[in-house]
Amino acid sequence: MKEILKSKFVKEMCSVTANMYRLGWDERNGGNISYLLTEEEVAPYLDLDKVIRKIPIGFEAKELAGKIFIVTGTGKYFKNVESDPETNLGIVRIDQKGDTAELLWGYKDGGRFTSEFPAHMMSHVARLKADPNNRVVMHCHPTNLLAMNFVHELDDRSFTRSLWQMCTECIVVFPDGVGVLPWMLCGNNEIGEATAAKMKDYRVVVWGLHGVYGAGKDMDETFGLIETVEKAAEIYMLTSHLPRINTITDDNLVTIAEAFKVNYRKDFID
Which tens digit of pLDDT belongs to each residue from 164-186?
A: 999 999 999 999 999 999 999 99
Tell me whether residue 244 is in a domain. yes
What is the pLDDT averaged over residues 255-259? 98
Q: Are residues 170 and 205 in the same domain?
A: yes
How far is it, in rounded angstroms, from Cα 264 to Cα 253? Answer: 9
Q: Are residues 157 and 216 in the same domain?
A: yes
Tell me whether residue 78 is in a domain. yes
Q: Are residues 166 and 40 in the same domain?
A: no
Out of 116, 227, 230, 234, the active site residue is 116
Confidence band (pLDDT; 50, 70, 90) for 15?
A: very high
Per the annotation, the verdict on 116 as an active-site residue is yes
CA 24 to chain centre: 16
What is the pLDDT averaged over residues 120-147? 98
Q: Give the domain extent around 166.
A: 132-270
How far is it, in rounded angstroms, from Cα 241 to Cα 64? Answer: 46
Q: Are residues 22 and 64 in the same domain?
A: yes
On the 0-12 / 13-18 / 19+ scale of CB atoms within 10 A, 57 is buried
Mean of pLDDT over the chain? 97
Amino acid symbol at 57: I
How far is it, in rounded angstroms, from Cα 101 to Cα 20? Answer: 26
Starting at the earlier edge strand, list the strands of the sheet with 204-207: 53-56, 100-106, 89-94, 68-72, 32-37, 136-140, 211-216, 204-207, 179-181
Confidence band (pLDDT; 50, 70, 90) for 202?
A: very high
Tell me whether residue 120 is in a domain. no
DSSP string across 55-91 = EE-SS--GGGTT-EEEEEBTT--GGGTTT-HHHHEEE
What is the pLDDT averaged over residues 138-147? 98
Q: Are residues 137 and 241 in the same domain?
A: yes
For the entire predicted model, the pTM comes to 0.96
Q: Which helix (H) or strand (E) holds 225?
A: helix 219-239
Of 174, 145, 168, 169, residue with least CA distance to 268? 174
Q: Are residues 159 and 233 in the same domain?
A: yes
What is the pLDDT averaged over residues 223-237? 98
CATH number of the domain where residue 247 is located: 3.40.225.10
Q: Are residues 138 and 270 in the same domain?
A: yes
Q: Are residues 167 and 97 in the same domain?
A: no
Q: Which helix (H) or strand (E) holds 123?
A: helix 117-130
Q: Are residues 140 and 252 in the same domain?
A: yes
Q: Are residues 85 and 136 in the same domain?
A: no
What is the pLDDT averaged over residues 21-30? 97
How far is it, in rounded angstroms, from Cα 141 to Cα 242? Answer: 25
Confidence band (pLDDT; 50, 70, 90) for 122?
A: very high
Domain count, the chain: 2
